[in-house]
Each structure stands twice: as structure tokens, then as C-alpha cells.
Amino acid sequence: MTAAAPRPAQQTRRSLRTETLEARPVNLDGFVEEWPEKGLVAMESDFDPQPSVRVEDGVITELDGRSRADFDFMDSFIADHAIDVATTEASMALPSVQIARMLIDPGVSRAEVIAVTRGLTPAKVLDVVKLMNVVEIMQGMQKMRARRTPANQAHSTSARDNPLQVAVDAAEGALRGFAELETTLGVVRYAPLVAIALQVGGQVGRGGVLTQCALEEATELELGMRGITAYAETISIYGTESVFVDGDDTPWSKTFLASAYASRGIKMRFTSGTGSEVQMGNAEGRSMLYLEIRCILMAKGAGVQGLQNGSISCIGVPGAVPGGIRAVAAENLVASMMDLECASGNDQSFSHSAMRRTARMLPQLLPGTDFVCSGYSAVPNSDNMFAGSNFDTDDYDDWNTIQRDLQVDGGLRHVREPEILAVRAKAARVLQALFEYLELPRITDDEVEAATYANSSNDYPFRDVLADLTGAQQVMDRGVTGLDLVRGLEATGFHDVAENLLTVLRQRVSGDLLQTAAVLTADFTPLSAINDANDYAGPGTGYRLQGERWEELKKLRHVTSATDPETEVD
């Protein structure tokens, strides 16, 4: 059963159909049998605890069958910081089926649901979502998502860590509609240059785009504090004490890190996801979803505004067991029903099958989430330094067509090539000028030209990597900040980009981006659960793809004109 033996060569004659099916991409994916005793099970396990709570003198003394004396540090943190002690006994007394029905009943408001969910224990939350099929999970997500307007997030990285590529692909991604852009590195020392490129390129594509650079935690925080990035996301949390300790962390240390960001007005969210604990061999016999629910409650207890979840880099684990993608949809819903922003995954290579890749994202795209992908690859997957995403630049037209077919808003739009070339060229020139201003290694006119028309990192002239790394170190040594970038942009004649970046940086003074699910519109209006609260209450309510935005999404690369069928709509 667990033998790693290659399948024995078939001696008997095989059907031609079997041969055809064997050659289908889906059969390159890995699938495994469940092993609930070890936690290799999505969400239906006899080894998960039963829901229970006991409160004495305003303190939770029993949680899911465990008394306080036996709490591990996850139990303690959740009992003391995540669960509302005043309402927990009443919420826990409600039958799970009643709570599940509240989640999908348009007659029950989001606020009414949250008044109940804030008092639930992890096992009770699991008990509720186990009653829901994927359509009901989507119905729940449609109502429980924090922000009314859905959005999307992109990865902009380079296999060569070429800052110029990151800048122009950030610009194109922003123009296509991504509200947030994320980068990371192959060679970590390149980070300051690539983070600057992302920040500046993004503002060329569309003012108000937020950027982050996924790094080791101390450096990531420093770049944020300097204003070279605008938010942070890759602060990982885990569902068992043993896995937390393996990473030399605790819920309290992660919370301290979160408060460091908040102290500077910087948006941040945690990251977690099903499968990580069993992947690391320490699931303590609990199902993947039960452990993820503990993470979600831990994030809530820490006071962060949001969470990136949806299995993320462990997607191959839930993706390989029965019902695993249902569990992934459920974990997104649980983040939303805990009143957190949910950046809902779809950000890692998931399947060899295009059909499976699409099916995996429908539970997020159809109801809409705060960020449908928490990393759609805005570069070809060969350049994706997060090890590949579920969607990349090759899929842009498919994504736009699916939005148009189903009349759903996945955050992107088709943009005509001349506009794309214009922002790519401008982003390249802006970075060229800024590097010169900051006395960083030169970007040549040939590079600018290549960047304008490039697809992947292979289409760019090689850079002098050692000179770039020296320059990157100088950025850190000289204490370059976001304001220096603004000054450089202004001094080199790119007033509009300088203005855009300054306006993004000013948000950390107002603190508006600390609100749940905050993004900035193109005119720098913060949209969050405060001023753009999800008000879904059944058919005809909530966010509807209509009006100007719908007209925009009707456009594709090739649409035959109704007035002159010999031409295409421009």
C-alpha cells in the first residue's frame, strides 16, 4: 500500500481507451488514500474532538473536551483571546445545523451570523461546516466575505530576480486590475532592488496598488517600516503546538510581530492552510480542516485584520485526498465567518489538468472573496519564484472569458495591447531614471526596449548580478526609504508616479489600511469592511457585476462586431 514500487509493467493487452486516459494530464497528479489516525484526512475524521465549552468566573475552563489544565498553547491562546467569553455558552448551545442554515439564509444578516460565530470553539466551527456541501459553502462565502467588492492579487517575480522585469510586469498586472502585488526572490540579497521595482512599477500601472515582498520576517518588517513595501502577508501560523515550536515560534511571538506592523500603520495578514501540519508530520491525529480552524481562530485572537488561507503551499496534500478541495473552500469560508479578510489561495501550482485547475478555483471565483487568488502569477510560471501558481499570464484570456461567460468579477479585465505596451515602457523608463538617481546599477535603453515587449525573463539582456547585489546592499546601508523613492521620482520628472507613491505611503498615517480587507481604488479611496461592507441579502443585493464594470468585462481580445461583422470590437 505504501510501497514506492513503480507500477508493474502491464503484461496483458490494454484497451486503447485506457491508454488514452493514462496519457491525460490529470494522471500526472498524485492521489493518496486517507490515514485519519495521522491526520492525513481532509475534514471528516473520528479523531477530531467533540465541541464543548465551559466558562467559570469569566474564563474558559474547558474547550472541545479538554480542561484548562490540559490545554496546549493553541488552546490557551484561542480560549483567552479568540472566543468571546460573554456569548460562547449561548452560541455553543445552538445546534450546528441551525448555524449552518444561518450561513446560507439570505434573511439572516452577516452581522447576525458573526454575533454567533465569535463564540464558537474550533470543533464547533468544524461541526458546522461539515454539514455544508460546496454549493452551500459558496453561498455562505457570498454573504460572509468582508468586503463587498471582490478583488485579486498577483505575484510579480523573476527567475533571474531581474528588477526591471518585476517592475514592468507589476505595471501590466496593476493595469489589468490586481489590487495587490507580491514578490519574492531566488537570491534573497536582491530583495531591496526587486521590492523597489515592484513598488514603483505597480504605481505606474495604476495608482493605489499595494505591494509586498515575501522574505525572512525581520527583513520583511524592515522593508515595510522603510516604506519600500506597503503591506505584509507571509507571516505563517500553524495548527499544532509541535509544528509552531519546530519553527521557533509561538502564537504570542507571531502576535508581537503583527503589532510591529500595526504600530507603523502597515497592512498585514497572517498565512496558514490545510495540510501544513500533516506535511510536517505533526498533525497530532487531527484532520487538516480542524487544525486550520485553530489557525483561523489564532489569527483572530492575535487581532490581525486578515488571513491568507486555502492550503497555499501545501495544496498538493488536501488536493490528493478525498473531499480535499471542499475542505479548502470551507477554510476560506471559516476565515470570512470569523470576520477576517480572506485572501483565498489559488496561488500555487495545483494540477497538471487545466480542468482541475479551474474547478479548484470556482468556489472562490463564483461567490467572490476579498482576493480570489492570493497570488495569480502575473509572470509566466517559469518566472514564478513562489514555485508556480494555479494561474499565470498564459491564462489571462481564459480568466477574462470565464468572467464574461458567468458574469462574475474575478478582479481582472482585458486591456488592449497599445495600453499595455505604454505602461510597460513607462515603468521601464521610470525604473531606469530612479536607479540612476539612486546611483544604482544602470538600466540600459536596450533593456527598456526589451522589457516593453518581453514575455519572460529569457527575453531580457543579462544584468550584472554582482553589481546589482552590491547596489542592493547599498540600499540597505544608506537607509533608503519610500520617501527617497518619491523624491527620486519627482526629481526625474515622473511627478504622477511620485504623487501615487506618496499617497500610498500617507495611508500609514491615516491607518485606513488597517481596517479589515482594505484596498485602495484608482482614486485612492480605501475600500474596506468599514465603508464597503458586504451587504449581501439574497438575489438583487450585494455586489453585482453591472454598469460600467460589466461593460469593461464584456471586452475580450477577439469579439466580432455586431454592427460590422467583418471587423472586431476594439
Partner 1 sequence: MTTLDAPAERTLTLRETGPATRGTRPDEVVIAVSPAFGDPFTQTIVGVPHAEVLRQLMAGIEEQGVGVRVVRVWGTADLAAVSHIAARLSGSGVSVGLLSRGTAMIHQKDLPRLSNLELFPQSPLLDAPVFRAIGSNAAQYAKGQSPQPVPTRNDQMARPRWQAKAALLHLKEFECIRADAGPVELEVTISR
Q: Give catalytic residue positions.
A: 153, 155, 182, 233, 308, 347, 374
Cell numbers describing residue 60: 474558559
Shortest distance in whole angstroms from residue 570 CB to partner 1: 36
Nearest residue (CB) to partner 1, 5 versus 16: 5
3-state secondary structure 222-266: HHHHHCCCCEEEEEECCCCHHHHHHCCCCHHHHHHHHHHHHHCCC
The smaller minimum CB distance to partner 1, of residues 184 and 351, is found at 351
Q: Which is nearer to partner 1, 224 or 310 (CB)?
A: 310
CB of 324 to partner 1, least distance (A): 9
The smaller minimum CB distance to partner 1, of residues 3 and 69, is found at: 3
Closest contact distance (angstroms) between CB of 349 and partner 1 is: 5
Q: Which residues of 213-235 are buried (b: 16+ CB within 10 A; e: fewer)?
A: bbbebeebbebbbbbbbbbbbbb
Strand residues in 92-138 grouped as ranges (E)? none
> Residue type for 86, please?
A
**DSSP track, 463-512:** P-HHHHHHHHHHHHHTT--HHHHHHHHHHTT-HHHHHHHHHHHHHHHHTG
Cβ-Cβ contacts under 8 Å for 553 (sequence gap 6 or more)? 400, 403, 404, 407, 409, 413, 414, 545
Nearest distance in Å: CB 418, partner 1? 32
Instruction: Check if the beta carbon of residue 403 is closer than 8 Å to that of residue 412.
Output: yes
CB-based burial, 143-174: b 16+ in 10 Å, e otherwise: bbbbbbbbbbbbbbbbbbbbbbbbbbbbbbbb
Site residues (vs partner 1, CB under 8 A): 2, 4-7, 28-32, 35, 38, 40, 275, 278-281, 313-317, 319-321, 348-352, 381-382, 384, 387-388
Give the shortest CB-275-to-partner 1 separation in angstroms.
8
**Residue 132 φ then ψ, to 5°:** -105, 135
Closer to partner 1 by CB, 274 or 364: give it: 274
- Nearest residue (CB) to partner 1, 346 versus 534: 346
Whole-number minimum distance, CB 274 to partner 1, in Å? 12
